[in-house]
Amino acid sequence: MVLNKNGKYNNKNYHFNKKNALEVIKSILPYNAIPVPEDRFYENMQLLGYSDQDKANLVALTTILTPQVVGEELFSRLSDNLPSANAIHTPEAYKALPVRNMGFILNQQKNSYDLLVDKIFGQDTEKKHDWKGDFRNVFNPDSTKNIKLLTDFPGIRQKTANLMVLNISYYELFTEEFKVLNSNFKDIRLPVDLHTCQISMRTGIVSSDTNSFHGDMLRDYLRNNLDLTIREMRSTLDYCMISKGRLTNMIHRAFYNLGSLTCSPKKCDCSIVDKCTFVYRLDHKISKYHVDSKKQMKFF
């Protein structure tokens, strides 16, 4: 893995096919209308009458727990665990929400979750920024370092940070003074998850000279190029009326839903994307994807 002078990965062996990207995105976009697991959790907080502050805190916090394949079960269990609106507004109540023994929550994820609770409530050891019990106070609309501030935090990587921002924008949870940011927040970027990677590899949006990809390099490369594709879409008549946040959300949700429902990690039944040909196998141990000629996904 080679880093260039800007700290970006050198990806001269990877190729981005913009024509494929535009075609695939347009054909899968209707999938964005299917609810994602977080939506049920959010609706339950609404029903219980949670304040925007608590909703924003929990939307951000639970993003840390999102594992790649069992989001549905996670958010359904979290929803069942929600206390009343009066009982939630303390660090202790936040920490009690994801039960460590839910089985699929890793200790590391739970530790990062607890650390972020402490940070939000100013109970952390290095009190660099006072968030006054409200995660949204991390945001400075004039800064381009919002994401960087989040990724400096243990357990929050680029995808998680982008997803936190995107979800807060989707549920329109920015504070009153920053409402305008709900749709056009400067730092909104596409969270590139497992599904986005796999669909992009399978449909030839991205290819590699060696027919294999390094996980981190691929995510970085795809995020940069898909963000540019989104910008290009928004310069056309069909999409110019859709805000950056809204279109980025639609595309993220379309990739997520297609990847969870039809073009899944284990097999691909998708007829919607006729370009879908290769199946790549993810080797978790080395975080590398390989072409699998037998079209069967195996996880290690």
Q: Which residues bind Zn ion (CB under 5 A)?
A: 263, 268, 270, 276
User: Which residue is at the shortest CB distance from Zn ion?
Assistant: 263
CB of 24 to Zn ion, least distance (A): 10
Nearer to Zn ion, 76 or 264 (CB): 264
Q: Is 153 left (phi over 0), alpha (psi -120 to 50) or beta?
A: beta
Nearer to Zn ion, 189 or 252 (CB): 252
> Beta partners for 281?
290
Nearer to Zn ion, 116 or 263 (CB): 263
Burial pattern 236-256, b for ≥16 Cβ within 10 A else e, equals eeebeebebbbbbbbbbbbbb
CB of 71 to Zn ion, least distance (A): 19
CB of 267 to Zn ion, least distance (A): 9
One DSSP character per residue, 187-254 reads T------HHHHHHHHHTTSEEETTSEEEHHHHHHHHHHHHHHHHHHHTTSTTTTTS-HHHHHHHHHHH
The distance in angstroms from the start CA to the end CA of the chain is 22
CB of 276 to Zn ion, least distance (A): 3
CB of 220 to Zn ion, least distance (A): 23
CB of 26 to Zn ion, least distance (A): 16
Nearer to Zn ion, 24 or 168 (CB): 24
CA 286 remoteness from chain centre: 22
C-beta separation of 117 from 91 below 8 A = yes
C-beta separation of 30 from 65 below 8 A = no
CA atoms of 163 and 196, how far apart (whole Å):
13
The H or E element that residue 72 is part of is helix 71-80
Nearer to Zn ion, 105 or 270 (CB): 270
Nearer to Zn ion, 201 or 276 (CB): 276
